[in-house]
Amino acid sequence: MSKLFESVKVGNLELKNHLVVCPMGFVKDIDGGISERQRHYLVERAKGGFGLIYPSTHFISNRFEPSQANTLEGWGHGSRLALAVEQVHQYGAKFAVQLSLGLGRVSIVDPFTPPKSASTCTSFWFPDLTCDPYTKEEIDWLVTRFGYSASIAKNAGADVVEIHAYGGYLIDQFMSAIWNHREDEYGGSLENRLRIVFELRQSVWDQCGKDFPVAIKVTPDHAFEGGRTLEEGIEMVKLLDDGGFTYIHLDKGAYECWYNAVTTAYQPEGSQLYIAKAVKEAGVKTPLMVQGKLDDPRVAESVLDDGLAELVGLGHATLADPHWALKVKQGNEDDIVPCIGCNECLYHELIASFSTCAVNPRTGAETDYPILPALEKLKILVIGGGPGGMEAAITAADRGLEVELWEKESKLGGNLLAAGAPPFKFNTMRYLEYLKTQIAKRDINIKLGKEATLETVKEYSPDAVILASGAEPICPFVDNIGCKTVIQAIDFLIDKPEIGKDVAVIGAGLVGCEVAIMLEREGKNVTLIEMLDEILMTAELASNNDAWLKDTIVASNINVRTGAKLTSVSDNSIFLEHEGQEKEIACSNVILAVGFKSDQSLLNALQEDNIKVFPIGDQKGSGKIIDAVHQGFHTVRLLEDLINIY
């Protein structure tokens, strides 16, 4: 059996295995308590075989800033927490509650109200605001209140509380010289800056007993200029080592480089493990918990094999597949739905939308969207083998429908083939392989190289058509655009033709930026051309993904030209309108990444012929994976009702 599934004891906390569901933001009740939806979400991951489950972090109070997470202030919060704890325990998992003093300088109130922080420092979101420092009396109140909230968690049945002292949040602001400029006993030396941590731990012990497990999450490497260096981070962890903590939960980054803390599609696997290695080599004896793109079972297993940590934390991987642990334990690794790092989960949370996952439509709706057997065996035709079409076909087969999938190309994947082509998008390609595996395991008739027309659809005579035929790349109307040196980005990514040394990428949306980075890393001289005033202006993506792309391009040798319009192409150059002048840029190849447009002719023809057709993805106006997958899933889940409605 894998070491991951051996029981483990850290301090006096015993777990059935080494696998942990990390704390992540989630929909809370109106007063900050554990919501019913959140409880179902947690229980599903306990069913999935994990040994320790965290809900999202809990604020101890809303006195000094509005809570942007769960809150644990009183018995009403505790009673709902207790129900979640009891149900998680029923599956043999333990329950951890991460307690926070708040966000401090990264709190979002409004552009006029200064947040409170460890000392006078700049507000992250509103740089014109200077934070108000907490007074000594307020700190005393917070410390006492922290222990009280811990007692609520303990009485609710929680097995461990964790001090939320990482990532540039309020407690970390006390711990970090870049934000803590105090001149009293809470500022100055590293020992003084850590004082609040030991006071919080003691407050928990005072109100819960010294045998109650207390963990701490810290960031030894802020990974941005001026933040905590790894060297200082090691010294910090060494001071915590004798502090009686049950385990130390390691993290990386801060809001200044949020993609290091909440990883994206672009980070390598095990991106934070170097921190654990350095901590272990420094002689730290307290058990460690690690995280950071450990969703490949082999990488997760290597953490234990290499002695880097005792606990392995998975975050977004458990949104994509709550049963990750169980599938690994049973040897069904090819059934794991892989996280693709798109951070749609984060994006939807930040725009106050419904918290969910791009590749798992049931995340956050675990009891809302059951897949029920079909009442009659309808004949379903899915047109298009991209992510939406494959998800629709899989769902149809799972419901017992008769399903056939047509794909006009010679292989499945659609635009996923291009999206997963850059080496740093390996998890997107992994998701494609997952979909293909699930298709192969089901009774789905696949026809590759099959063109769908009104006549061929009528000949097949389906009860319903799921139209997921995607979109085609746009070609701008400029002189000589048909030149042999011009390649559409999607064709370049899929076919990988040989190109010259100097490359112009037209369009700095998501595809154009990823192509530019890939080419620059391959040693090409890249010029990135964008008509708008900034890159990525039309891309709807999570802020940490956006920041990684922008920071990476700034740090690269890519020549970025914004506010520039392509006017013509020659065999060895392009011509632009830029800053009121015509400019020529020499290049051996031109990569077009100016967007996509769907062909609606088949949809219109099917509708005019009164065929029951349901467009999804690009055919419904969205080019995002999350929309295609969710629409494919829900259209088939509700198919009988939709047929009656339409």
Residues known to be catalytic: 169
Tell me, what DSSP letter sits at residue 357? B
CA Rg value for the chain:
27
Instruction: Tell me which residue has tokens 């303990």.
Output: 154
- What 3-state class would DSSP assign to 582? strand
Report d(CA 288, CA 285) in Å as an integer. 9
Neighbours of 187 (CB within 10 A): 17
Residue type, 290: V
Q: If we measure between CA atoms, which residue out of 624, 56, 627 comes closest to residue 315?
A: 56
Neighbours of 191 (CB within 10 A): 12
Total number of residues shown for the chain: 646
Report d(CA 58, CA 308) in Å as an integer. 28
Report d(CA 121, CA 20) in Å as an integer. 35
Report d(CA 593, CA 566) in Å as an integer. 12
Concatenate the DSSP letters of all residues of 126-175 into one string.
-TT-BPEEPPHHHHHHHHHHHHHHHHHHHHTT-SEEEEEE-TTSHHHHHH
Report d(CA 464, CA 206) in Å as an integer. 65
Tell me, what DSSP letter sits at residue 61? -
Report d(CA 414, CA 385) in Å as an integer. 6
Structure tokens at 637: 């889940």
Helices (H) and strands (E) in the chain, counts: 23, 29
Residue type, 540: E
Report d(CA 35, CA 55) in Å as an integer. 11
Q: If we measure between CA atoms, which residue out of 114, 116, 212, 107 comes closest to residue 163?
A: 212
* Parallel, antiparallel or unpaired: strands 486-488 and 589-592: parallel
CA atoms within 13 A on the CB side of 302: 14
Q: If we measure between CA atoms, which residue out of 63, 85, 73, 198 comes closest to residue 138?
A: 63
CA atoms within 13 A on the CB side of 222: 22
Cβ neighbours of residue 244 closer than 8 Å, sequence gap 6 or more: 201, 210, 214
> Long-range CB contacts (< 8 A, 24+ apart) of 335-339?
335/434, 335/437, 335/438, 336/295, 336/297, 336/434, 337/431, 337/434, 338/295, 338/427, 338/430, 338/431, 338/434, 339/295, 339/427
Residue 433 host element (H or E): helix 426-440
